[in-house]
Amino acid sequence: MTSRLAFRSRLLGGCLALGWGTGAVAEELRIGFLAPTTGIFAQVGKDMVDGFQLYLDEHDNKLGGADVTFIVEDTVGKPDTAVTKAKKLILQDKVQMFVGGLLASTGYALAPVSTAEKTVYISSIAAADDLTQRQLDKYPYFVRTGWTSSQPSHPFGQWACDQGYKKIVTIGADYAFGYEVIGGFQRAFEECGGQIIQKIWPPLGTKDFGPYIPTISPNADAIFTLMVGPMSLQFPKQLKASGNQKPVIGGGTSYDEFVLPSMGDEVIGHVSALQYSAALETPENEAFVKAYREKFGKVPSYYSESNYTTAQMIDQVMTENNGVFPGAEKFVEQLAKVEIDAVRGPVKMDNRRNPVHNIYIKKVERRKMFGYPDEELWNIVIKVVPDVGQFGQFEEEVFLNTPVYSRDFPPCQYCE
Amino acid sequence: MITLRTKVVLVIAVLAALAVVVPNTNPFLVLLATRVLAFSILVMSVDLLLGFTGLPSLGQAAYLGVGAYLTAILATGYEFGLGMDFWVVIVLGILSGAVLAAIFGLLAIRATGVYFLMITLALGQCVWGLAYRWNSLTGGDNGINVPVRPQFAGIDLSDGITFFYFVFALFVVSLLAMFVLVRSPFGRSLVGIRERELRMQILGYNTWLHKYVAFVIAGGFGGLSGVLWAHTAGIVSPETVILTTSVDALLMAVLGGAGTLVGGVVGAFIVFGLREYLSTIVPWWQYVLGAVYVLTILYLPRGLMGIPAWLRERRASQNRKDEAKRLASVPS
């Protein structure tokens, strides 16, 4: 796929340059894309690539008038391979920017490459908080078009207070992304009077929650879950089998459209928060879902949307420059000021190169959407919190003076 | 039969060619070759155990891991090892690998065969677990970024080609050291243990001690490999010490041919070549890698280095057949 695409566009570029060489020669924009296209995260990687590719296909493979050479490289989900491949893209393919990276660890590994090689890195998925918070100054060529892990959690914590929940137990994957999603929720929830009374950390990739579910405190009003990948499928099943009656809420990846089609009725009624839902009832999203589903046979996930939107943002910046790449510094500067109407809703950038966008609080329901004949599970939006930045309801300076969310921060002061 | 002398000359010629050709390719290939050479030291250490002592270690990534984490922690936490003191880090890396192997060896050396495999696997996973869970030291899942490569005495390792030569030099030294080791009386005793441990015991050798020392030495080389590995990609994370790294090292040694030292290097070049170079060209590289493994195991149990011997035997058996045919056709 990689080479064929690259070859085809090179061929196209060649024809343009040679055949009709009398007119203005179209500029070439070389974009490297890093995603895990093999290994356990291969399907997520496919969603990422497909999202970006869909935008290119809809725009004749041009962004802002420049012909795009889109080169996909496989990270195998390993940070050091991601670094090697990023260097390949920069040194051998001479890309002007590289996009992608799935895991937070990959994001942390790739950002220094952008600094060392003075090449733009656009993180469309990797959500590690500190990249645009306490470590931002280290990475002048880094822009985030996706989200920070704790961004949806801040308004969600407030929402949990509004529901009248007083005591919540959290159960989440034991790694940095889990700490950040749950940490953000805890900070917001305790700020408005709630209490986190227990935090359970099953290891990433846990397949049997038998040892964890019985330890959930009976005093809790609700359970907050943060699952990723196959964990998302297994946990709700076992929770239901254990006879749980408590409301279940969770981080976006526990119920995103990547896992939702494989889920059963056990997740109906569960509430989560993210910057995108495929069930968003806007004309833009309806068109996006239909186009994506027709082309790739599945409902787009936030992985798809985020990369589609990233392509749209690059398109806008390139249009401002009449299709000529303005150099890395200038490009970052312009991209960091972009404001667009994306599929996920209005998106603008804050002063720390991270998007400000709507956070959707959504409930899993089984219904028909967008004229599709079957009843399916969708993340129905029940509340829109507009214009949420990475610091949410908190003061930027106060926020930056506290440590990054971890297993020990915020401390569990109400733990029983 | 190819004489040892021819083999040595051949290896030297290939290494010389590598040193000349690689820097004249593009920077990505230089980086790739650097990675292969750094990892090859680990593969050779596996071969020392598997090929010469008959101990299939499935936890060798642990020693790579301590070397790499040590380098990363010293560089980021204490800014140590970014100048002339990088040599100290190299020594410390070797020592840390050896010390860890000395501890693990006490537990593992008692077993042989598949039990040895299981114990080393479990011990390797302990190191992975530590790397993953000990957030304050290892950065957990996010790992540690090693921002810059060392600079000393006018040598700037952040230059790709300089770093390649640096790793190349240490690789050659390691190869030479292991070559001398396996040909020494100690190395011969290891081969004796591989072939028939009981007989060695009856001859009066303390086979436990011999295996233990070999295990510690292999750990030391693993540590050295880790120090270099930390600076190739500039990131050390639990993925560095995960089980698949150990499996990779073992497979590379088997693929190239166990008990040959250089076979593991050939294996490393092939696997890295397919995984990190072919994957940039075609999406179906995994099928090629799978096919290489399957075909090697089916037809070349002695690995790729066994090809000359295999050809020789084929020719010999063909000659025998021809001879038989000729004799049969001669009217008596």
Q: What is the pLDDT of residues B260-313, one digit of tens each?
A: 889 899 999 999 988 888 888 888 888 888 898 888 888 888 888 888 888 888
What pLDDT was estimated at residue A12?
43
Q: Rounded mean pLDDT of A301-315?
A: 95
Give the structural domain span for A392: 153-280+358-401
Nearest residue on chain B to A138, judged by CA atoms?
A: B147
Mean pLDDT taken over chain A: 90
- List residues in chain A touching B: CB distance below 8 A: 1-3, 37-38, 73-74, 76, 78-81, 83-85, 87-88, 91-92, 103-105, 108-109, 112-113, 128, 174-177, 204, 406-407
B232 contact A CB<8A: yes
> Does residue A12 share a domain with residue A90?
yes
Residue B93 pLDDT > 90: yes
For residue A18, is it within any domain?
A: yes
For residue B6, is it within any domain?
A: no
* CA atoms of B284 and B322, how far apart (whole Å): 42
DSSP symbol at B277:
I
From the CA of B139, how many Å to the nearest CA of chain A? 9
For residue A170, is it within any domain?
A: yes
* CA atoms of A157 and B153, how far apart (whole Å): 56
Q: Give, for A179, the enclosing helix (H) or strand (E).
A: helix A176-191
Nearest CB neighbour to B28, from listed A88, A108, A406 = A88
Confidence band of A345 (pLDDT split at 50, 70, 90): very high
Nearest residue on chain B to A112, judged by CA atoms?
A: B147
Determine, for residues A105 and B286 on separate chains, whether the beta-carbon distance falls below 8 Å.
no
What pLDDT was estimated at residue A25?
52
Residue A5 pLDDT > 50: no
Q: Which of B96, B27, B26 is nearest to B62 (CA)?
A: B96
Nearest residue on chain B to A92, judged by CA atoms?
A: B28
Q: Rounded mean pLDDT of A350-360?
A: 94
Q: Which of B226, B255, B218 is nearest to B109 (CA)?
A: B218
- Residues from chain A contacting residue B142 (CB–CB below 8 Å): 104-105, 108, 128, 176
> Does residue A111 share a domain with residue A202?
no
For residue B139, is it within any domain?
A: yes
> Does residue A327 share a domain with residue A268?
no
Q: Rounded mean pLDDT of A35-63?
A: 91
Determine, for residues B283 and A87 on separate chains, whether the beta-carbon distance falls below 8 Å.
no
B211 contact A CB<8A: no
- Residues from chain A contacting residue B280 (CB–CB below 8 Å): 2-3, 73, 85, 88
Determine, for residues B276 and A78 on separate chains, whether the beta-carbon distance falls below 8 Å.
no
> Does residue A389 share a domain with residue A258?
yes
- Residues from chain B contacting residue A91 (CB–CB below 8 Å): 26-28, 31
Determine, for residues A92 and B142 on separate chains, whether the beta-carbon distance falls below 8 Å.
no
> Does residue A217 share a domain with residue A254?
yes
Question: Within a 13 Å sphere around the CA of A218, how many CA atoms are in the beta-carbon half?
Answer: 2
For residue A410, is it within any domain?
A: no
Determine, for residues A37 and B145 on separate chains, whether the beta-carbon distance falls below 8 Å.
no
Confidence band of B259 (pLDDT split at 50, 70, 90): confident
Residue B20 pLDDT > 80: yes
DSSP helix/strand/coil, B12:
helix
* CA atoms of A166 and A185, how far apart (whole Å): 13
Residue A239 pLDDT > 80: yes
Two tokens at A413? Answer: 């002061």
Cα–Cα distances (Å) from B242 to A65, A196, B30, B247, B279, in that order, read 45, 33, 25, 9, 21
Residue A6 pLDDT > 80: no
Nearest CB neighbour to A81, from listed B133, B140, B276 = B276
Angle at A72 between CA A67 and CA A76, to 5 degrees: 170
What pLDDT was estimated at residue B308?
84
- Residues from chain B contacting residue A204 (CB–CB below 8 Å): 141
pLDDT digit string, tens, across residues B214-247: 999 999 999 999 999 999 988 898 888 988 889 8
What pLDDT was estimated at residue A190?
94
Determine, for residues B233 and A406 on separate chains, whether the beta-carbon distance falls below 8 Å.
no
Structural domain tally of chain A?
2
Q: Where is pLDDT greater, at B153 or A350?
A: A350
Contact predicate A167/A218, CB 8 Å: no
Confidence band of B170 (pLDDT split at 50, 70, 90): very high
Determine, for residues A108 and B279 on separate chains, whether the beta-carbon distance falls below 8 Å.
no
Nearest residue on chain A to B27, judged by CA atoms?
A: A91
From the CA of A78, how many Å to the nearest CA of chain B? 6
B225 contact A CB<8A: no
pLDDT digit string, tens, across residues A246-285: 999 999 999 999 889 899 999 999 999 999 999 999 999 9
pLDDT digit string, tens, across residues B94-125: 999 999 999 999 999 988 888 999 999 999 99
Contact predicate A87/A113, CB 8 Å: yes
* CA atoms of A84 and B233, how far apart (whole Å): 6
Determine, for residues A84 and B276 on separate chains, whether the beta-carbon distance falls below 8 Å.
yes
Confidence band of A338 (pLDDT split at 50, 70, 90): very high
Nearest CB neighbour to A91, from listed B28, B35, B232 = B28
Strands A248-251 and A222-226: parallel
For residue A131, is it within any domain?
A: no
What pLDDT was estimated at residue B332?
56
Question: Within a 13 Å sphere around the CA of B30, how many CA atoms are in the beta-carbon half?
Answer: 21
Give the structural domain span for B152: 22-240
> Considering only A12-16, A231-235, A354-358, B83-87, which range has the smallest mean pLDDT?
A12-16
- Residues from chain B contacting residue A109 (CB–CB below 8 Å): 143, 145, 233-235, 237
Q: Rounded mean pLDDT of A174-199?
A: 93
Q: What is the CATH number of the domain that holds A87?
A: 3.40.50.2300
- Residues from chain A contacting residue B28 (CB–CB below 8 Å): 87-88, 91-92
Residue A143 pLDDT > 90: yes
Contact predicate A102/A123, CB 8 Å: no
B159 contact A CB<8A: no
Q: Rounded mean pLDDT of B184-208?
A: 90
> Does residue A325 share a domain with residue A275?
no
Q: Rounded mean pLDDT of B21-33?
A: 89
Structural domain tally of chain B?
1
From the CA of B58, how many Å to the nearest CA of chain A? 20
> Does residue A363 share a domain with residue A339?
no
> Does residue A22 share a domain with residue A92?
yes
> Does residue A115 share a domain with residue A13?
yes
For residue B206, is it within any domain?
A: yes
* CA atoms of A84 and A23, how far apart (whole Å): 39
Query: What predicted TM-score, i.e. pTM, was given to this entire model?
Result: 0.86
* CA atoms of B123 and B59, how far apart (whole Å): 7
> Does residue A373 share a domain with residue A231?
yes
B19 contact A CB<8A: no
What percent of chain B lies above the pLDDT cut of 90? 44
Residue whose structure tokens are 């270099």: B228
What pLDDT was estimated at residue A3?
45
B237 contact A CB<8A: yes
> Does residue A240 share a domain with residue A167?
yes
pLDDT digit string, tens, across residues A215-224: 999 999 999 9
Give one word for A326, left, alpha or beta, with left for phi > 0 and alpha for psi -120 to 50.
Answer: alpha
From the CA of B144, how many Å to the nearest CA of chain A? 8
Nearest residue on chain B to A407, judged by CA atoms?
A: B135
What pLDDT was estimated at residue B61?
93
| Cβ burial, residue B209 (10 Å; 0-12/13-18/19+) | exposed
What pLDDT was estimated at residue B293?
85
| Cβ burial, residue B151 (10 Å; 0-12/13-18/19+) | middle
What pLDDT was estimated at residue B1?
59
What pLDDT was estimated at residue B213?
94
